[in-house]
Amino acid sequence: MNISIEQLRYATYFAPRGRIRLQNLGNQISQKYLQPNDKLIGVIGDAGSGKSLCIKGMFPGLELTNDDDGINVRPSPLMRDYQNANFKAHTYHIDVRFELAFTQMYELIDAVKAALKENCRVVVEHFDLVYPSIGKNGDILIGIGEEVIVVRPNLFGPEPEDVRNTVFKSLRYRRMAHSAEDLLVHILENEYHLVCDGHGDVKHGFILSFTKKPRISLAVLEKKVKQLIKKDLSITYLDPTHIKIGTDIVQYCTGPRTHVTHTAQIENFRLLDEYVYDEQRECYDMVGMVTEETIRDIHSINHFGE
């Protein structure tokens, strides 16, 4: 018995933006929490949250039926092998929401059950949709919203619906924060010719890091970002590394699917009124947030509990 795993209630991580950071997080999750006898892996999150990228990090080389690159595998390996009554793979992936466009729910349930009976592992995206019918909770659940939540359910829960309600509610903050971050980066690069040296995350917000303290007024920057927000510009996916803001702004972005659709959907944007020096990393942090809370102590930003 692995005591650390058996005692796991839940673990949470900031859901990072970008392909590499999400895949790295998925790899960390698999190393820390995945056990060889885990057969049913439930992944829960809305479209654009990064489920596929996290799964790629957890299971390198796994053939995804509908991934972030738009590659659609038909028929899915799970359904193909189920129909042939010959399960060849050790691990299968199924995107329930995508698969329901081609397959009846009862067929999906039967295929998953048959694969599990053959001692195969099945990774199920949108696990909350099949849970009521499958009669078994996941051995491990991964929910992706503003944060990535890892839980190992037992007799007392949590239920997939609990995870779903949490991550669906919080994803809006991640979308607002990432959108505001790209607006700010656009202003810094195009008006001040300044490129940040790193990106980070805080609750309901983001961090831009600089090795040298910028000589730019944070109040002025906040005002400029709010002006772009007020224009209600559209934000659209352009390609895997770019978004389009309005009709003529093309902005480099490593997480182009995780945005609001219009800038006016960004609520309560603010910058902390001073640069924060991080002694450990020896850099200056610019912190942006989308929150109604008044920050009186920077150490309380990532608070948890009541």
Domain ranges of the chain: 3-158, 172-300
Q: Is the peptide bond before 75 cis (omega within 30 degrees of 0)?
A: yes
Question: Would you write out the chain's pLDDT as a tens digit for each of its 306 residues?
Answer: 454 556 777 899 999 888 888 999 999 999 999 999 999 999 999 988 999 999 999 999 898 887 555 556 678 899 999 999 999 999 999 999 999 988 999 999 999 999 999 999 999 999 999 999 998 999 999 999 999 999 999 888 899 999 999 999 999 999 999 999 999 999 999 999 999 999 999 989 999 999 999 999 999 999 999 999 999 999 999 998 999 999 999 999 988 999 999 999 999 999 999 999 999 999 999 999 998 776 666 766 766 654
> Which architecture characterizes domain 172-300 according to CATH?
2-Layer Sandwich (3.30)
> What CATH architecture applies to the domain 3-158?
3-Layer(aba) Sandwich (3.40)
Average pLDDT of the chain, as a whole number: 91
pTM: 0.87
Q: Closest by alpha carbon to 46, among 125, 114, 120?
A: 125
Alpha carbon distance 104, 79 (integer Å): 11
Give 55-114 as a 3 state SS string: HHHHCCCCCCCECCCCCECCCCHHHHHHHCCCCCCCEEEEEHHHHCCCCCHHHHHHHHHH
Cβ contact 43:163 at 8 Å: no
Query: What residue ranges in the chain does DSSP mark as E strands?
Result: 10-14, 40-44, 91-95, 121-125, 140-144, 147-151, 198-202, 205-210, 235-239, 242-245, 249-252, 269-271, 276-278, 283-290
Q: How many angstroms separate the CA atoms of 131 and 136, rounded? A: 7
